[in-house]
Amino acid sequence: MAILGENWQPTNEGVYPKRILILGPAGSGKTTAAAVIAPGMVRDPEQLIVVGPKPDLAVKLNRPWNNVSPYDMKAMQNFFSKLYESPAHVFVVVDDFDLYSNARSYNVPALHELVRIGRGYGKGFMGIADGSSSIPKSLIANADLVIIYRTTEPNLLDYAEDYMDDFPGGPKEARYAISNLPPYEAIVWMPGETPKAKGILKVVNGQLYLVPWDEETKSPDASEPEGTAPEPASDATSSSPPGPGAPTAAGATQNTAAK
């Protein structure tokens, strides 16, 4: 995705095997951001697998809703193991991900395998959660992209102060910035890159804009001339075409796993 990962490369089936976390309380805008980002992670919409206890995101993405209960261990293990074992390249989006994990591990081994190892087999992952208290710290530290909306959750603020060392102004400034973000704006943090802090992310008229720290952080207006904001992420796949080979439809994998 040109705006969020300029050097990201898709697999030969057109899936970006990256790990993304979107963190923020209810009403922060995280579901809207997920609905814009997720389609850019695949070449074929059928490669998007949407999981969660509620259908909101699946409706936004116009994809089937896989209502896998986070309290049914057998159903979770069955569903995620079939996704992991399938040869199809897919991008799995888990809404309310903090219900499927805890601070130390995942509810079932298959989800752990999918998130931690699946990238080596063409599996991408996005977790959307209210905060970080029920998400393994190792995942936050090793995610390719973490998008953080305004929050007062102590665990996430402590993470910022402990680990966001190259944030402009230092980690204490990161803590302050996260707890005082304007509505519907998020900090973009990429732990594996230098610098890690990329700027402020906004969704304007269904498109993503990243405002770097050295630019004025006002909301870009849709009527402003081209160049006032980076290229919308919806065009990202056209600027970095996937390699040869027809995509493997993820729908069949999903339907099998749901049984």
pLDDT tens readout for residues 141-175: 889 999 999 998 888 898 888 888 889 888 899 99
For residue 222, pLDDT over 80 is answered with no
DSSP state of 51: E
Sheet containing 185-189, strands listed edge to edge, beginning at the edge strand earlier in sequence: 65-66, 48-51, 90-94, 123-129, 19-23, 145-149, 185-189, 197-204, 207-211
Higher pLDDT, 54 or 4: 54
Neighbours of 221 (CB within 10 A): 11
Band the pLDDT of 186: cuts 50, 70, 90: very high
| Mean predicted confidence (pLDDT) in 39-53 | 96
CB 202 within 8 A of CB 184: yes
What DSSP element (H or E) covers 159?
Answer: helix 154-163
What distance in Å separates the CA atoms of residue 135 and residue 190, rounded to the nearest whole number?
Answer: 17
- Please give the pLDDT value at position 194: 86
Taking only the tens place, the pLDDT of each residue in 50-104 is: 999 999 999 999 999 999 999 999 999 999 999 999 999 999 999 999 999 998 8
Q: Which domains does the chain have, with CATH numbers?
A: 19-213+227-258 (3.40.50.300)
Q: What is the pLDDT of residues 227-252, one digit of tens each?
A: 333 333 333 333 333 332 223 333 32
Amino acid residing at 70: P
pLDDT band at 195 (very low <50, low <70, confident <90, very high): confident
The pLDDT value given to residue 212: 87
Average pLDDT of every residue of the chain:
82
| Helical (H) or strand (E) element with 256 | helix 251-258
Q: What is the pLDDT of residue 253?
A: 33
Number of H helices, E strands in the chain: 9, 9
Share of the chain above pLDDT 70, in %: 81
Q: What percent of the chain has pLDDT over 90?
A: 60
pLDDT recorded at residue 137:
85
Q: What is the pLDDT of residue 215?
A: 53
Q: Is residue 189 predicted with pLDDT exceeding 80?
A: yes
Q: What is the mean pLDDT of residues 19-29?
A: 94
Give the pLDDT of residue 114: 97
Q: pLDDT tens across 123-132, in order?
A: 999 999 998 8
